[in-house]
């Protein structure tokens, strides 16, 4: 059974993985035997990431690359194939969010979120699929969201992107399943990372942020997720254990999507 979850001999590219969810997922894939390559948008963060992986006992290779830049992504993938080998596993993790009421959000801001959270996964998947086909297998994992299923105030661009990412996942699964490429989504709930730090900030009186209390009430597990909560599901979707799972969004949300929420006391 262990072999089924082994990633020995596999090369995994995790985008935007200097820290946060990407770092945790990459670390989990490494523990399962994968060779890790990752990118970030700045050399400073790539260098910090390489040091952090090293401190965790992981020999990760970092590349500076803006995932919205198709030429840069194609150059990075060619460099990885030349220096490390063909990418077996792609995790489209890099992402941004802008929390702005829709009617106050500029079209440029909306487009920027769509560019990173939806166009970039398309660009990165398109860059790795040809070699996966030649190799005879591939795994693509798109990091979706609660906002792939639900809306909320101020996150219109992000929800549109993550909803689109759910359908891009299903479409890649449909178009390349015959070439033994499985494309699935991982849908984290509310996870404690820099991206959600503003939603968890202590109030001036030392009390919890109202949104923090809201999420605790909406989550059966009554806690925020940790990035490490995602590593097991990620290894499953990256391994042979999921070879007949395709086009599925695996929500790792502590039960948020199943729960109406705790009745206010």
- Please report, as ranges, the residues that interact with ligand GCO according to CB under 6 A: 97, 99, 145-147, 152, 155, 158, 188-190, 195-196, 199
| Binding flag, residue 193, ligand NAP (CB under 6 A) | yes
| Binding flag, residue 176, ligand NAP (CB under 6 A) | no
Q: Work out the burial of residue 86: count CB atoms within 10 Å of its CB; fewer than 13 is exposed, 13-18 middle, 19 or more buried.
A: middle
Q: Give the pair of three-digit tokens for residue 208.
A: 């919890």
| Binding flag, residue 93, ligand NAP (CB under 6 A) | yes
Kindly tell me which of 6 and 112 has the beta carbon lying closer to ligand NAP. Answer: 112
Q: Let me know if 158 is a catalytic residue.
A: yes
Q: How far apart are CA 3 and CA 109, in angstroms?
A: 45
| Binding flag, residue 190, ligand NAP (CB under 6 A) | yes
| Binding flag, residue 62, ligand NAP (CB under 6 A) | no
Q: Give the pair of three-digit tokens for residue 106.
A: 């500029």
| Gap between the terminal Cα atoms of the chain | 46
Q: Give the chain's length.
A: 265
| Binding flag, residue 195, ligand NAP (CB under 6 A) | yes
Given candidates 11, 12, 13, 45, which one binds ligand NAP under the rule CB under 6 A? 45
| Binding flag, residue 18, ligand NAP (CB under 6 A) | yes
- Percentages of the chain per state (helix, strand, coil), in multiples of 5: 50, 15, 35
Segments in 105-207 forming alpha helices (H) = 107-114, 120-135, 156-176
**Whole-Å CA distances, 157 to 15, 110, 122, 144, 217:** 20, 5, 17, 14, 25
Which of 63, 158, 176, 190 is an active site residue?
Answer: 158
Ranges within 115-154 binding ligand NAP (CB under 6 A): 116, 143, 145
Kindly tell me which of 185 and 189 has the beta carbon lying closer to ligand GCO. Answer: 189
Q: Which residues are catalytic?
A: 158
Contacts with ligand NAP, residue ranges (CB under 6 A): 15-16, 18-22, 39-42, 45, 66-68, 93-96, 116, 143, 145, 188, 190-191, 193-196
């Amino acid at each position: 059974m262990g072999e089924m979850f082994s990633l020995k001999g596999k090369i995994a590219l995790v985008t935007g993985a200097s820290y946060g969810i990407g770092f945790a997922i990459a670390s989990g894939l490494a523990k399962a035997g994968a060779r890790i390559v990752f990118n970030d948008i700045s050399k400073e963060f790539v260098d910090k990431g390489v040091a952090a992986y090293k401190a965790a006992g992981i020999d990760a290779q970092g590349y500076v690359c803006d995932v919205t830049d198709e030429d840069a992504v194609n150059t990075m993938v060619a460099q990885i194939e030349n220096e490390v080998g063909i990418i077996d596993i792609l995790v489209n993790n890099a992402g941004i969010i802008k929390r702005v009421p829709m009617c106050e959000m500029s079209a440029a801001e909306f487009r920027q979120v769509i560019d990173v959270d939806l166009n970039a996964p398309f660009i990165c998947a398109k860059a790795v699929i040809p070699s996966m086909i030649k190799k005879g297998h591939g795994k693509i994992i798109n990091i979706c969201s609660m906002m792939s299923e639900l809306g909320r105030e101020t996150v219109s661009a992000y929800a549109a992107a993550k909803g689109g990412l759910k359908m891009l996942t299903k479409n890649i699964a449909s178009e390349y399943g015959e070439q033994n490429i499985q494309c699935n989504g991982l849908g984290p709930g509310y996870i404690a990372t820099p991206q959600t730090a503003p939603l968890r900030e202590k109030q001036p009186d030392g009390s919890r942020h109202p949104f923090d209390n809201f999420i605790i009430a909406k989550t059966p597990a009554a806690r925020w997720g940790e990035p490490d909560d995602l590593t097991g599901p990620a290894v499953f979707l990256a391994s042979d254990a999921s070879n007949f799972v395709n086009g599925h969004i695996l929500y790792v949300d502590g039960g948020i999507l199943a729960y109406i929420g705790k009745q206010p006391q």
